[in-house]
C-alpha cells in the first residue's frame, strides 16, 4: 500500500543520510552514483541525485574534481545524466551539483574529458543557465521526509 511505500522510503533515506554522515565521502558518492545514477526507477535516480548533491556541497568543488579515487570521472557524467532526467527533482539536484562544480578553474577541462561530446553539447545550455540564473527553485513535488538535506543532520531525526 501507499503507506508502506512511504514508510520504506523514509527508512531508506534515513539510512542513506546516516551513510553520508558516517562513511568516507568519496566512497559514498561513488556508491550512490554507481547504484543509482542510471537506475531505471525515477525515484531511485532522484534519491541518488539528492544525496550526491549533498555530498558534493559538503566536499566542495576541488575535492570532487581533483580528489582521490578519481571521483570527478564519476561525478561529472552522473551530474550530466541528472540534469537531463525526466524528473524535475532529479534535474534540480543535478543543477545543484553543477552549481558547486562550476566555480572550479579546472571544471571545463575535466567536463570535456569525462563526458561524451554529445552529452557536452546537450548540457551546455543548462550550464549557461546555471551560471546566469543559478539552480532555480526547488520543485514542489518532493515527497521526501528529508526534503532539504542541507539543513538536516542525524541529530534532527
Q: How far is 36 from 48, CA to CA, in rounded Å?
A: 5
| Mean pLDDT per 10-residue interval, the chain, length 157 residues | 76 90 91 94 94 95 86 95 96 97 95 96 96 89 54 43
Residue 70 region by backbone torsions, left for phi larger than 0, else alpha for psi between -120 and 50, else beta: left
Residue 141 pLDDT: 64
φ, ψ dihedrals at 38, nearest 5°: -110, 15
* Residues in CB range of 25: below 8 A, 6 or more apart: 55, 58, 59, 63
Q: How far is 36 from 7, CA to CA, in rounded Å?
A: 20
Closest CA to 29 of 61, 54, 62, 60: 54
Amino acid at each position: 500500500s501507499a503507506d508502506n511505500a512511504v514508510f520504506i522510503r523514509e527508512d531508506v533515506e534515513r539510512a542513506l543520510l546516516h551513510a553520508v554522515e558516517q562513511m568516507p565521502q568519496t566512497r559514498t558518492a561513488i556508491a550512490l552514483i554507481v547504484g543509482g545514477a542510471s537506475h531505471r526507477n525515477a525515484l531511485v535516480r532522484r534519491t541518488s541525485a539528492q544525496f550526491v548533491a549533498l555530498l558534493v556541497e559538503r566536499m566542495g568543488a576541488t575535492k570532487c574534481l581533483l580528489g582521490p579515487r578519481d571521483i570527478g570521472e564519476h561525478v561529472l557524467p552522473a551530474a550530466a545524466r541528472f540534469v537531463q532526467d525526466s524528473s524535475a527533482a532529479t534535474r534540480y539536484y543535478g543543477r545543484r551539483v553543477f552549481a558547486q562544480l562550476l566555480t572550479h578553474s579546472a571544471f571545463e577541462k575535466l567536463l570535456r574529458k569525462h563526458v561524451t561530446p554529445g552529452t557536452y553539447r546537450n548540457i551546455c545550455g543548462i550550464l549557461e543557465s546555471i551560471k546566469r540564473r543559478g539552480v532555480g527553485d526547488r520543485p514542489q513535488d518532493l515527497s521526501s521526509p528529508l526534503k532539504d538535506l542541507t539543513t538536516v543532520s542525524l541529530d534532527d531525526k
